[in-house]
């Protein structure tokens, strides 16, 4: 491989060595979408072009890019304590951040287990669920229930409970003992909905069918309050409440995957607050550090935590964790991020901006747009697929948006996903609508 620098600005070498995640590697390396810096609502390409960030990175940079207080906190922490293991040791900021997160969570969710990503957070929650039943003498409860079209990260457990076909198909039979609830989305019943659709609460009742099929072997159900990665599918009105009631009836743990919705995306610290439903665990990541340093984890109920606090005091209660769980730099970034959310009222800002946002997004209706869905500061726009080339129209829209319209969007198949930083203004929304509309028009 060539180690020579390219003559093209911002291209460091022949790009071959980096196998990019969840990307069309060959297409990217023919025409790289390269960025060199970022500030507030914008990325900047190596040639200095200003690119509007309509996706908060990857649902991450909720507070905007390169916020000075977060950067300063990371720099200060790196100079003081670069690393210490949280296996049998600790540092103050890990305990401080855990307390801050627990304070934001619904009552009774009092304990925070740190990981480094949403995928690891999901794996932790699934393992804790099965282990919790085991230590209670219910070792028969090992089955996990996910949902069609749900996304729960890229590890084996998360893919197994996830329900996105193209994510699952390459990896064999995955975990045994997994079943799925039906997707909550039905275009005929829910098209062009703002917020939670009225149709679909009854789909939670399918859990009763799975209980009849599997008996008392179900350990946990995991769902996203809003399925984000596959195209923005808000929970129907009443759906999560019914799911909670059925789980309570059959002693099944309920896990909310809030990797996307946590830390303000739907106008509350967690979507659980928006819907008035308290799960047994909440998985978080992304927005906890506004994307600056990798961090994830799971918030656990006191009942679950207490079930492990038995046996000899000198013995580890849960043989699970990661080298970088509660990393000092991530904790420093998390504390500074939570301060920004609080001091600037960013969760409340999302709530206030939601009506304006949803109205603006519906302006993108037009030829070839099959559906638009909004909730909080999110939007999913379904484009009419090209026959025999699924995903091509969405890919082309992403390229045109970046290179020609100077806006960074995310395409999931033929669905365009928008989820901007919370610091956006009304003018940013107008700018986003205009640029995205031109990209859609170009591919149609």
Residues 142 and 235 in one domain: yes
Q: Are residues 43 and 88 in the same domain?
A: no
* 220 and 255 inside one domain: yes
**Helix, strand or coil, per DSSP, at residue 90:** coil
Same domain, residue pair 249 and 356: no
Burial class of residue 88 in the structure, from the number of CB atoms within 10 Å of its CB (0-12 exposed, 13-18 middle, 19+ buried): exposed
Say if 17 falls within a structural domain: no
Residues 351 and 306 in one domain: no
Q: Are residues 385 and 276 in the same domain?
A: no
Q: How confident is the model at residue 7 (pLDDT cuts 50, 70, 90)?
A: low
Q: Residue 172 pLDDT more than 80?
A: yes
Helix H or strand E segment including 143: strand 143-147
- 171 shares a domain with 117: yes
The CATH number covering residue 415 comes to: 3.90.1150.10
Flag whether 329 is in a domain. Answer: yes
Pairwise pLDDT comparison (158 vs 1), residue with the higher score: 158
Q: Residue 59 — left, alpha, or beta (φ > 0 → left; ψ -120 to 50 → alpha)?
A: left
Give me the number of domains the chain comprises: 2
Q: List, as one string, the DSSP characters of 222-251.
A: EE-SEETTTT-EEPPTTHHHHHHHHHHHTT
Of 343, 370, 387, the domain-final residue: 343
Query: pLDDT value at position 3?
Result: 42
- The pLDDT score that the predictor gives to residue 29 is 96
Last residue of a domain, one of 299, 319, 343: 343
- What confidence score (pLDDT) does residue 9 get? 79
If you average pLDDT over residues 369-383, what whole number do you get? 98
Cβ proximity of 293 and 330 under 8 Å = yes
Counting residues of the chain whose pLDDT is more than 70, the rounded percentage is 98
Could you tell me if 327 and 358 lie in one domain?
no
pLDDT on residue 2: 41
Structural domain span for residue 95: 70-343
Q: Is residue 16 part of a domain?
A: no
Let me know if residue 256 belongs to a domain.
yes
Query: 210-242, pLDDT tens digit by residue?
Result: 999 999 999 999 999 999 988 999 999 999 999
Residue 225 counted as domain residue: yes
In a domain, 10, yes or no: no
Poorest-pLDDT segment among 162-171, 278-287, 354-363? 162-171
pLDDT category of residue 4 using cuts at 50, 70 and 90:
very low
Same domain for 76 and 173, yes or no, is yes
Per residue in 148-160, pLDDT (tens digit) is: 999 999 999 999 9
State phi, psi for 173 to the nearest 5 degrees: -80, -10
Q: Is residue 200, in this structure, part of any structural domain at all?
A: yes
pLDDT bucket at 181, cuts 50 / 70 / 90: very high
Within 13 Å, how many C-alpha atoms sit on residue 427's CB side? 1
Same-domain pairing of 338 and 355: no
Residue 5 predicted with pLDDT over 50: no
Judgement on whether residues 98 and 246 belong to the same structural domain of the protein: yes
Residue 40 located in a structural domain: yes
pLDDT tens-digit map of 33-51: 999 999 999 999 999 999 9
Residue 155 CB neighbour total at 10 angstroms: 16
Q: Which residues pair with 222 in a beta bridge?
A: 255
What pLDDT digit, counting tens, does each position of 251-276 carry?
999 999 999 999 999 999 999 999 99
Q: pTM for this one?
A: 0.96
Is 86 in the same domain as 157? Answer: yes
The residue from 343, 361, 385 where one domain ends is 343
Neighbours of 13 (CB within 10 A): 13
CATH number for position 303: 3.40.640.10
Question: Which residues, other chains included, contact 130 with Cβ-Cβ below 8 Å and sequence gap of 6+?
Answer: 141, 142, 144, 219, 220
Beta strands in 246-341 (DSSP E): 253-257, 281-284, 296-301
Please provide the average confidence, as pLDDT, over all residues in the chain: 96
């Amino acid at each position: 491989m060539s180690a020579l620098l390219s003559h093209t600005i911002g291209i460091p070498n022949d790009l071959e060595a980096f196998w990019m995640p969840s990307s069309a590697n060959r297409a990217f390396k023919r025409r790289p979408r390269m960025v060199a810096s970022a500030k507030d609502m914008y990325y900047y390409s190596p040639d200095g072009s200003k690119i509007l960030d309509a996706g908060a990175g990857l649902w991450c940079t909720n507070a905007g890019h390169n916020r000075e207080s977060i950067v300063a906190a990371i720099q200060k922490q790196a100079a003081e304590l670069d690393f210490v293991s949280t296996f049998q040791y600790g540092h103050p900021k890990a305990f401080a951040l855990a307390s801050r997160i627990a304070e934001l969570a619904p009552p009774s969710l009092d304990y925070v287990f740190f990981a480094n990503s949403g995928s690891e957070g999901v794996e932790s929650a699934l393992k804790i669920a099965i282990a919790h039943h085991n230590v209670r003498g219910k070792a028969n409860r090992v089955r996990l229930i996910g949902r069609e079209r749900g996304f729960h990260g890229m590890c084996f457990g998360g893919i197994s409970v996830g329900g996105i076909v193209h994510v699952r198909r390459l990896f064999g039979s995955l975990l045994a003992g997994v079943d799925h609830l039906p997707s909550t989305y039905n275009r005929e019943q829910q098209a062009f909905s703002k917020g939670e659709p009225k149709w679909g609460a009854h789909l939670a009742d399918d859990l009763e069918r799975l209980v009849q099929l599997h008996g008392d072997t179900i350990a946990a159900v995991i769902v996203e309050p809003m399925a984000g990665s596959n195209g923005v599918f808000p929970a129907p009105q009443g759906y999560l409440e019914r799911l909670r009631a059925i789980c309570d009836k059959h002693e099944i743990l309920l896990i909310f995957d809030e990797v996307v919705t946590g830390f303000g995306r739907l106008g509350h610290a967690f979507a659980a607050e928006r819907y008035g439903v308290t799960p047994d665990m909440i998985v978080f990541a992304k927005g906890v550090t506004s994307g600056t340093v990798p961090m994830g984890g799971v918030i656990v109920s006191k009942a679950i935590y207490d079930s492990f606090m038995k046996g000899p005091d000198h013995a580890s209660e849960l043989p699970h964790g990661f080298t970088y769980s509660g990393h000092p730099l991530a904790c420093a970034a998390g504390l500074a991020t939570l301060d920004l959310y609080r001091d600037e009222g960013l969760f409340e800002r999302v709530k206030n901006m939601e009506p304006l946002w949803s109205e603006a997004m519906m302006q993108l209706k037009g030829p070839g747009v099959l559906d638009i869905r909004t909730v909080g500061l999110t939007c999913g726009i379904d484009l009419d697929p090209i026959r025999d080339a699924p995903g091509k129209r969405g890919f082309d829209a992403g390229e045109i948006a970046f290179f020609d319209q100077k806006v960074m969007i995310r395409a999931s198949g033929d669905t365009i996903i928008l989820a901007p930083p919370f610091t956006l203004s009304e003018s940013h929304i107008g700018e986003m609508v205009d640029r995205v509309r031109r990209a859609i028009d170009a591919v149609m």
